[in-house]
Amino acid sequence: LKTYLECYPCFFRQAVEASRLTGLDDKSTRQILIEIGKTLENFPLDANPPEMAVTIHRLVKEKAGISDPYRRQKQESTEMALKILPDIRKNLSMADDPLLMAVQFSVAGNIIDFGVKKADTFEEDITKLIHMEERIIEEEEDRFFQYDAFRESLENAREIIYLGDNAGETVFDRLLIDEIHTRNPDVNIIYAVRGTPIINDAVMEDAHQAGLQSSAQLISSGTDGPGTLLDRCSEAFLEKFYNADMIISKGQGNYESLSGTSYPIFFLLIAKCPVVANHVGCRKGDFLLLDNKTQK
C-alpha cells in the first residue's frame, strides 16, 4: 500500500500521541513535529506508511530516552487478553466451526492497536470484543472474508509463517494457532514478532507473555517498523518467509507493507482507517480475511 495524502495528518497525530504517552513536554514534541516536517521531502508517495512510522517513533523514542514507550500498555493488553482467554476457549469448544470462530477472534483481536487509535480505549475495546462474538459469527463468506480459500490453504500447508501484530492480539493468535494444530498436527507454524519495539507491536518478550512459545516456533522478523518491511528484515527471517507455503499476516501494518506483493498471504485485519478501507474497497471497521491471490 502506498502512502496516500490522507496519511500525512495521521503521521503528525501519531507523533503527538506517542510524545504525550512518553511524557514529553510541548517544546520537545514540537521539535519532533518539526523534524518530521523536514523528513517529508525524503519520503516518496510510493513508500508505505509503516516506513514513515519508523521515523516518527524513532524520533519520539530518542527524544524521550525510552526504548519501548508502550511497554506497560503492551503488558496490560496481554494480561487483559489472557484473562478472557478461558471464556473464549469455552466458546470455541461449543462452536459449529471452531476454526472459523478462531479466525474471527483473531481478527477481532486486531482491535487492540495504539497506532491507529488513541491509547485510552483499551478496556472499551476489550469489552466490545467479548460481546462481539455474535456479530462476527454472522459474517458471511464474501470477497472480504475469504474463509473457504483460507481453510483450503491450511489443509495443504506444511510450513506457515504467522506475522504477528500487536501485543494482546497475540493471545488471540495463539488460539488460532492451536486450532490450526488441532486440525493439522503436522504443520509447522513460525510466529514472527518485530525486531525492535515500535508502538504496541509485539516483540519477543510480548509473545512470551502471551504464551506463544508453547504453540509455535518464535522468530523475530528483525524489522524496526510496525509492519513487515522486507528490506528491513533479517536474512534468517527472510529465508523462512520466502520458503513458507502459507503466510498469515495480522493487522494493518503488515497489510500496508505486503499488499501488492505476490506471496501466498492471507491478510487478517480490521480495516481501521479510511485509507486502508478505501484501498480494499470495504467500509472502515470491517473484519477482513483477504486471500492475496485475489487482491489487486
| 36 makes contact with its own copies (CB under 8 A) | yes
Closest CA to 89 of 178, 214, 149, 166: 178
The CA distance from 101 to 94, in Å, is: 10
* Residue of 21, 22, 29, 267 interacting with its own copies (CB under 8 A): 29
| 117 makes contact with its own copies (CB under 8 A) | no
| 13 makes contact with its own copies (CB under 8 A) | yes
Q: Which is nearer to its own copies, 43 or 144 (CB)?
A: 43
The CA distance from 106 to 280, in Å, is: 19
Q: Which is nearer to its own copies, 40 or 236 (CB)?
A: 40
Q: What is the size of the binding site for its own copies (CB under 8 A)?
A: 25
- Determine the interface stretch with its own copies among 23-31, 142-150, 192-200, 201-209 (rule: CB under 8 A): 23-31
* Residue of 1, 18, 19, 195 interacting with its own copies (CB under 8 A): 19
Judge contact between 113 and 122, C-beta under 8 A: no
Closest CA to 251 of 189, 187, 185, 194: 194
| 79 makes contact with its own copies (CB under 8 A) | no
Q: Binding string, 42-71, against its own copies, x = CB under 8 A?
A: ---x--------------------------
90 bridge partner residues: none
Judge contact between 73 and 63, C-beta under 8 A: no
- Sheet containing 246-250: order of strands: 217-220, 188-193, 159-163, 246-250, 265-270, 287-291
CB of 159 to its own copies, least distance (A): 40
Binding site for its own copies (CB under 8 A): 5-6, 8-13, 15-16, 19-20, 26-27, 29-30, 33-34, 36-41, 45
